Amino acid sequence: MADPSRAITSAAAGGQRLLLRQLFDADTGTFTYLLADVASGQGVLIDPVFEQHGRDLSLIRELGITLVACLDTHEQLLSLPEPCLLYPGHDYTGRGVTSVAEEKAFNARLGGAATERDFVGHMQNMKLPHPHKIAEALPGNMRSGKPRQAETNSVWAPVQRSYAGLPELAPAWVAAHLPELTVLDVRAPEELQGPDGHISGSLNIPLPELEQRRQEIPSDRPVVVVCHSGSRSALATQQLLKEGIATIANLRGGLSRWSDEGYPLAGAIAL
């Protein structure tokens, strides 16, 4: 039987043997690259940005890739063969490609016969502004430790964030903890007695009414938002996160996946 995760990996690679994804961090202007072998599902992450680790890991998980290494290319490029092409993550003049040979010959900072003194003199006289967020980066580098506060909304449950950044929970965990949760169903009332039925004990507030009826959601328990496929509930989850509900997650795959995994639904009408 074919592994469904391999099918996703192959599709994401456009049917090619290698998957390549370019990711971007706007704050630092840095590109990160995900490279994976479709057949084995193994991949490497090249030049990751720490602040984007959640995004990167979500993409790796969604594409069914097993991460085997993180690679940092900084301070190593000139050891590569001279014909090797380089695609800079960021460049002062916006160049998209160069080569090791070109950099060794023409780079004003380290090419030709440039010495360390040449490099220091060049950089000191460029009169560049302070790097973006340098005042925040330096204290963090000096601490060289973990962030003081972990994300609070992942402590109460094994929340996983999608590549789009949405907090999600698997049906199995939700089913095992139903008495401890508020299940918020954002479908229209008539859908609760349709083919999908509903999760017993769920609170029904249709998505168009959510803003006006926000106060009906209990504040003493975490909230899991549901709909048929997880699409409308994703929008509701984002809305409630913005309104300050921290312990909230979307039901991954919606009631469709809940049913497929064999969990009970009340009021379902067989077609």
Classify residue 92: in a domain, yes or no.
no
Q: Which domain holds residue 228?
A: 156-260
Instruction: Identify the pLDDT of residue 150.
Output: 46
Classify residue 170: in a domain, yes or no.
yes
What mean pLDDT do residues 177-192 have?
Answer: 96
Q: Which pairing describes strands 223-226 and 248-251: parallel, antiparallel, or unpaired?
A: parallel
Classify residue 26: in a domain, yes or no.
yes
Check pLDDT > 80 for residue 110. no
Instruction: Identify the pLDDT of residue 261.
Output: 95
Q: Which pairing describes strands 66-71 and 85-86: parallel, antiparallel, or unpaired?
A: unpaired
Classify residue 30: in a domain, yes or no.
yes
What mean pLDDT do residues 50-65 have?
Answer: 92
H or E element that contains 94: none
Classify residue 40: in a domain, yes or no.
yes
Classify residue 227: in a domain, yes or no.
yes
Classify residue 87: in a domain, yes or no.
no
- DSSP string of 125-188? TS-PPPPTTHHHHHHHHHH-S--SS--GGGTSS--EE-TT--EEE-HHHHHHTGGGSEEEE-S-
What mean pLDDT do residues 194-218 have?
Answer: 94
Contact 85, 60 (CB under 8 A): no
Alpha carbons within 13 A on the beta-carbon side of 226: 32
Check pLDDT > 90 for residue 224. yes
> How does residue 107 score in pLDDT terms, banded at 50, 70 and 90?
confident
Classify residue 123: in a domain, yes or no.
no
Look-up: residue for tokens 């800079």? 88
Count: domains in the chain: 2
Phi/psi at 136 (5° precision) = -85, -35
Of the candidates 37, 71, 105, which is a domain's last residue?
Answer: 71
Cα torsion angle, 207, 208, 209, 210, sign: positive
Of the candidates 39, 71, 103, which is a domain's last residue?
Answer: 71
CA distance 261 to 238: 25
Instruction: Identify the pLDDT of residue 144.
Output: 64
Of the candidates 28, 50, 71, which is a domain's last residue?
Answer: 71
Supply the CATH number for residue 174's domain: 3.40.250.10
Q: How many Å separate Cα 250 from the centre of its chain?
A: 15
